[in-house]
């Protein structure tokens, strides 16, 4: 007996504070749902959510400024709050804050999710002016999961984060007020495919655990050189793990859910999903493939090449055939995931890894803002039956609402990567990193599919400005303060990152300078 | 017992789950197939844990997490399926085609009329 003392684990609460604040606010949100009277709930939720996200963002910055980038993983090696993780947290928190302003719009969400449309329950719920305020705690839980996902330093934490991120999103997708059938169908499809893919992720985890004897990313990395004769476990495990992660970023051939879910979900939720989930998932992809499987890159790189090429081509080509604005943006998001994957492949010496990582981080920031802005514009163009999704309805929008159409055109040009927009520098950085690592064919495919993608972006612009507006065309809703703030902020970010990218580029460089902690 | 037995059983279970997800058209059965896949993972984790003589029992701990999260997932999935069933009176996956790629024929001009009216009919004011 040694006096009955045990060694308590050390948890760096200060480092994890941004995440803890978000989760804490989510739990308070659940309590508010339980105890606050109905008419007060929204008035409590909205400030709580915004303050929590803003507070977490400020803490993240404070962390980076005051202590610099930590060099060891936190929480007994379970969570790695390093430079890339802090940068990604910053992006996710701002984007989530912005999306919350969009979600604030009551029109988007169903009054009572359990009520059947057209039934007495539904009428009663609508008449009493209820709104499904559970949206806010769900959003916070999901954002908390997104913060944990790219910072997870072992596969168990990563799996838990994956589920905490996804489960609230499945529900949020099904809460649209209009086009309820589409919304619920999107929710179901997202749920089934998400559960399917996380089962793959888990089976991969189990096999890699069998190979390495540990689920810690660092231990997996060091086992690559020492364990002999179990290569089957390792290769199958890596493949299955990859399936689970690539599904989350929507890389081909696992992209099928993206257009359906983006189209069916309430547009504010789509804005959140399209921007933050991609950012978080790329953080996790990088961590798994660079930290845990970095020494295996000769084996996974050819497969990743194929996936990246397929993703870019499928995203760009299928987008041309789309007639629904949200579906088109979903395919564009698939193509962008492909461009980002070229950065993931661009590994090499330490210096090369730094460049690639900083390029990916900058791209994620640029793409996230533009996406939120584009979906915010989509929420404002309305028909009698809700948002005017069909592209033909957008004809002549430039004559009706020149400012709005102009901003949307600007976002589309940023997606296409035209100089003087943020998309240009993002693409340039990623592609130049890929060229530096001898992936020239990949970059050629990337540039060609960018050109194909530019075709359909320009097609929408032509449609908006150079065709006659339909007689019964959609009206542009007077934006709420929140929505106009979102559009303004996203447009400003797209301009600033395109004209004067230096500060953010150097910030991304600093974040990437120490690479991932191990 | 050689570790290959549980590993093979688990692989078979996982394959049955994958087959079920791909072949079944009833949403509830698809959900059950996903559960089957998760249970294959559990079996695998516990077997490897014993095989590796893991002092910290990482595999068994992970199994507990998987069980809890699978339970949460089922609860959520059934809620979504129930909400859908109330609207549609069906849980057949093949009939949930409101969100699909536009068929080559009905493309450019307008979305399929049936789909549009179905979507309009259930809109709330």
Sign of CA dihedral A29, A33, A37, A43: positive
Is the CB of B125 inside 8 Å of chain A's CB atoms?
yes
3-state secondary structure of A53: helix
Is the CB of B80 inside 8 Å of chain A's CB atoms?
yes
Q: Which of B72, B81, B111 sits opposite A188 (nearest CB)?
A: B81
Bridge-based pairing of strands A475-476 and A386-387 is unpaired
pLDDT band at B103, cuts 50/70/90? low
In chain B, which residue's Cα lies nearest the Cα of A161?
B69
Residue A2 has pLDDT above 70, yes or no: no
| Of B119 and B70, the one with more pLDDT | B70
Q: Token pair for residue A494?
A: 């797209």
In chain A, which residue's Cα lies nearest the Cα of B74?
A195
Is the CB of A264 inside 8 Å of chain B's CB atoms?
yes
Chain A nearest-CA distance from B70, in A, is 9
Chain B nearest-CA distance from A225, in A, is 18
- Please name the fold of domain B4-121: Helix Hairpins (1.10.287)
Neighbours of A128 (CB within 10 A): 11
Mean pLDDT along residues B13-17: 96
Q: Token pair for residue A490?
A: 């996203």
Provide, as residue numbers in chain B, all residues whose Cβ is less than 8 Å from the Cβ of A113: 83
Residues A135, B100, B35, CA angle at the centre, nearest 5°?
A: 60
pLDDT digits (tens, 9 = 90+) for A359-410: 999 999 999 999 999 999 998 888 777 788 888 888 888 888 889 999 999 9
Is the CB of A112 inside 8 Å of chain B's CB atoms?
no
Contacts of A473 (CB under 8 A, 6+ apart): A388, A393, A395, A396, A397, A400
Residue A41 has pLDDT above 90, yes or no: no
Q: Which of A111, A170, A181 sits opposite B80 (nearest CB)?
A: A170
Q: What is the ipTM of this complex?
A: 0.89
Q: Count of A–B CB contacts within 8 Å?
A: 162
User: Quick one: which of A52, A135, A142 has its CA closest to A97?
Assistant: A52
Residue A314 has pLDDT above 60, yes or no: yes
Per-residue confidence (pLDDT) for residue A477, from 0 to 100: 78
How far is Cα A174 from Cα A171, in angstroms, rounded to an integer?
5
Chain B nearest-CA distance from A167, in A, is 7
Q: Which of B52, B107, B120 sits opposite A323 (nearest CB)?
A: B107
User: Quick one: which of A141, A110, A116 has its CA closest to A24?
Assistant: A141
| Of A316 and B123, the one with more pLDDT | A316
The H-or-E segment that residue A381 falls in is strand A381-383
Q: Token pair for residue A185?
A: 């169908």
User: Quick one: which of A280, A489, A258, A267 has its CA closest to A373?
Assistant: A489
Can you list the alpha helix ranges (DSSP code H) found in A321-349?
325-345
How far is Cα A224 from Cα A55, in angstroms, rounded to an integer?
40
Q: In 3-state terms, chain A is what percent helix, strand and coil (to 5)?
A: 75, 5, 20
Chain B nearest-CA distance from A249, in A, is 20
Is the CB of B118 inside 8 Å of chain A's CB atoms?
yes
Per-residue confidence (pLDDT) for residue B106, from 0 to 100: 45
User: Quick one: which of A278, A273, A247 has its CA closest to A261?
Assistant: A273
Mean pLDDT along residues A321-332: 91
| Of A223 and B99, the one with more pLDDT | A223
Q: Which of B38, B58, B120 sits opposite A385 (nearest CB)?
A: B120
Determine, for residues A199 and B41 on separate chains, whether the beta-carbon distance falls below 8 Å: yes
Give the CB-side neighbour count of residue A445, counting CA atoms within 13 A. Answer: 24
On the 0-12 / 13-18 / 19+ scale of CB atoms within 10 A, B102 is middle
Chain A nearest-CA distance from B29, in A, is 11
pLDDT band at B104, cuts 50/70/90? low
pLDDT band at B119, cuts 50/70/90? very low
pLDDT digits (tens, 9 = 90+) for A99-138: 999 988 767 787 777 777 777 777 777 777 677 788 999 9
CA distances, A123 to each of A80, B58, B84, B123 (Å): 49, 51, 18, 12
pLDDT band at A296, cuts 50/70/90? confident
How far is Cα A304 from Cα B77, in angstroms, rounded to an integer?
32
Contacts by B59-67 with C-beta closer than 8 Å and gap 24+?
Answer: B59/A206, B59/A209, B61/A156, B62/A155, B62/A156, B62/A159, B62/A205, B62/A206, B62/A209, B62/A215, B65/A156, B65/A159, B65/A160, B66/A159, B66/A202, B66/B38, B66/B41, B66/B42, B67/B42
For chain A, the C-alpha Rg in angstroms (whole number) is 22
Determine, for residues B80 and A171 on separate chains, whether the beta-carbon distance falls below 8 Å: yes
pLDDT band at B111, cuts 50/70/90? very low
Chain B nearest-CA distance from A386, in A, is 9
Contacts of A505 (CB under 8 A, 6+ apart): A358, A362, A425, A429
3-state secondary structure of B8: helix
Determine, for residues A199 and B84 on separate chains, whether the beta-carbon distance falls below 8 Å: no
Determine, for residues B45 and A206 on separate chains, whether the beta-carbon distance falls below 8 Å: yes
Backbone conformation region of residue A418, classed left if phi is above 0, alpha if psi is from -120 to 50, else beta: beta
Determine, for residues B73 and A390 on separate chains, whether the beta-carbon distance falls below 8 Å: no
Mean pLDDT along residues A273-302: 92
Averaged pLDDT score across all residues of chain A? 90
Is the CB of A385 inside 8 Å of chain B's CB atoms?
yes
pLDDT digits (tens, 9 = 90+) for B57-91: 889 999 999 999 999 999 999 999 998 998 888 88
CA distances, A402 to each of A329, A457, A461, A476 (Å): 21, 17, 12, 11
Sign of CA dihedral A14, A16, A21, A27: negative
The helix-helix angle for A135-151 and A83-103 (nearest 10°) equals 170
Residue A312 has pLDDT above 90, yes or no: yes
CB A144 within 8 A of CB A19: yes
Sign of CA dihedral A369, A242, B20, B65: negative
User: Quick one: which of A14, A272, A37, A42 has its CA closest to A137?
Assistant: A42
Domain residue spans of chain A: 13-513
Per-residue confidence (pLDDT) for residue B122, from 0 to 100: 41
DSSP per-residue string spanning A193-242: HHHHHHHHHHHHHHHHHHHHS--BHHHHHHHHHH--S-HHHHHHHHHHHH
Percent of chain A at pLDDT exceeding 90: 61
Chain A nearest-CA distance from B1, in A, is 16
DSSP code, position B93: G
Residues 32-61 of B with CB under 8 A from A: 34, 37-38, 40-41, 44-45, 48, 51-52, 54, 58-59, 61
CB A379 within 8 A of CB A447: no
Is the CB of B31 inside 8 Å of chain A's CB atoms?
yes
A475 backbone dihedrals φ, ψ, rounded to 5° = -100, 155
Q: Which of A126, A199, A321 sits opposite B124 (nearest CB)?
A: A126
Contacts by A1-5 with C-beta closer than 8 Å and gap 24+?
Answer: none
Q: Is the pTM of this model over 0.90?
A: yes
Q: Which of A155, A170, A185 sits opposite B84 (nearest CB)?
A: A185
pLDDT digits (tens, 9 = 90+) for B35-64: 999 999 999 999 999 999 888 888 999 999
How far is Cα A437 from Cα A348, in angstroms, rounded to an integer?
6
Residue A271 CA from chain centroid, whole number: 9
């Amino acid at each position: 007996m040694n006096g009955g003392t045990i060694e308590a684990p050390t948890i760096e609460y200060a480092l994890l504070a941004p995440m803890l604040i978000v989760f804490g606010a989510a739990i308070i949100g659940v309590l508010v749902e339980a105890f606050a009277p109905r008419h007060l709930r929204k008035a409590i939720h909205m400030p709580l959510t915004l303050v929590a996200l803003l507070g977490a963002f400020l803490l993240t910055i404070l962390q980076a400024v005051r202590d610099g980038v930590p060099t060891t993983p936190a929480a007994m090696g379970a969570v790695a709050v390093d430079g890339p993780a802090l940068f990604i947290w910053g992006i996710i928190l701002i984007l989530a804050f912005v999306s919350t302003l969009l979600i604030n719009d009551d029109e988007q969400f169903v009054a009572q999710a359990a009520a059947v449309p057209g039934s007495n329950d539904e009428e009663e719920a609508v008449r009493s002016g209820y709104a499904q305020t559970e949206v806010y705690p769900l959003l916070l839980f999901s954002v908390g999961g997104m913060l944990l996902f790219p910072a997870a330093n072992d596969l168990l934490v990563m799996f838990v984060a994956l589920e905490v991120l996804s489960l609230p999103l499945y529900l949020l997708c099904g809460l649209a007020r209009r086009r309820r059938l589409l919304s619920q169908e999107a929710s179901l499809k997202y749920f089934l495919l998400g559960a399917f893919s996380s089962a793959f992720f888990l089976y991969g985890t189990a096999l890699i655990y069998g190979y390495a004897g540990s689920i810690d990313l660092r231990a997996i990395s060091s086992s690559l050189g020492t364990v002999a004769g179990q290569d089957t476990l390792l290769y199958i495990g890596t493949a299955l793990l990859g399936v689970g992660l690539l599904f989350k970023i929507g890389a081909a051939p696992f992209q099928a859910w993206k257009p359906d879910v983006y189209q069916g979900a309430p547009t504010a939720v789509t804005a959140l999903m399209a921007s933050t989930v991609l950012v978080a998932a790329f953080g996790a992809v990088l961590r798994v493939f660079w930290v845990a499987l970095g020494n295996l890159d000769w084996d996974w790189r050819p497969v990743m090449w194929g996936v990246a090429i397929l993703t870019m081509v499928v995203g760009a080509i299928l987008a041309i055939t789309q007639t629904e604005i949200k579906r088109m943006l979903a395919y564009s998001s698939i193509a962008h995931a492909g461009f980002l994957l070229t950065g993931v492949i661009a590994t090499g010496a330490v210096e090369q890894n730094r460049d690639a990582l900083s390029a990916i981080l900058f791209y994620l920031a640029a793409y996230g803002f533009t996406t939120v802005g584009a979906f915010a514009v989509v929420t404002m163009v309305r028909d009698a039956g809700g948002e005017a999704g069909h592209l033909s309805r957008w004809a002549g929008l430039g004559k009706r609402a020149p400012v709005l159409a102009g901003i949307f055109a600007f976002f589309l040009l940023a997606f296409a990567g035209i100089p003087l927009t943020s998309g240009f520098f993002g693409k340039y950085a990623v592609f130049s990193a890929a060229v530096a690592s001898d992936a020239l064919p990949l970059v050629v495919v990337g540039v060609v599919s960018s050109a194909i993608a530019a075709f359909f972006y320009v097609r929408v612009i032509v449609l908006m400005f150079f065709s006659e507006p339909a007689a019964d065309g959609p009206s542009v809703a007077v934006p709420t303060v929140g929505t106009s703030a979102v559009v303004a902020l996203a447009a400003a970010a797209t301009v600033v990152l395109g004209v004067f990218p230096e500060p953010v580029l150097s910030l991304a460089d600093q974040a990437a300078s120490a690479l991932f902690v191990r | 017992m050689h570790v290959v037995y549980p590993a093979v059983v688990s692989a078979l279970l996982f394959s049955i789950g994958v087959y079920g997800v791909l072949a079944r058209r009833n949403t509830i059965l698809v959900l059950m197939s996903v559960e089957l896949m998760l249970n294959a993972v559990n079996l695998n984790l516990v077997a490897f844990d014993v095989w590796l003589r893991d002092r910290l029992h990482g595999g068994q701990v992970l199994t507990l997490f998987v069980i809890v999260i699978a339970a949460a997932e089922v609860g959520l999935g059934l809620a979504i399926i129930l909400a859908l069933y109330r609207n549609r009176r069906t849980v057949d996956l093949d009939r949930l085609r409101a969100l699909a790629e536009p068929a080559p024929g009905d493309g450019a001009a307008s979305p399929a009329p049936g789909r549009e009216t179905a979507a309009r009919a259930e809109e709330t004011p």
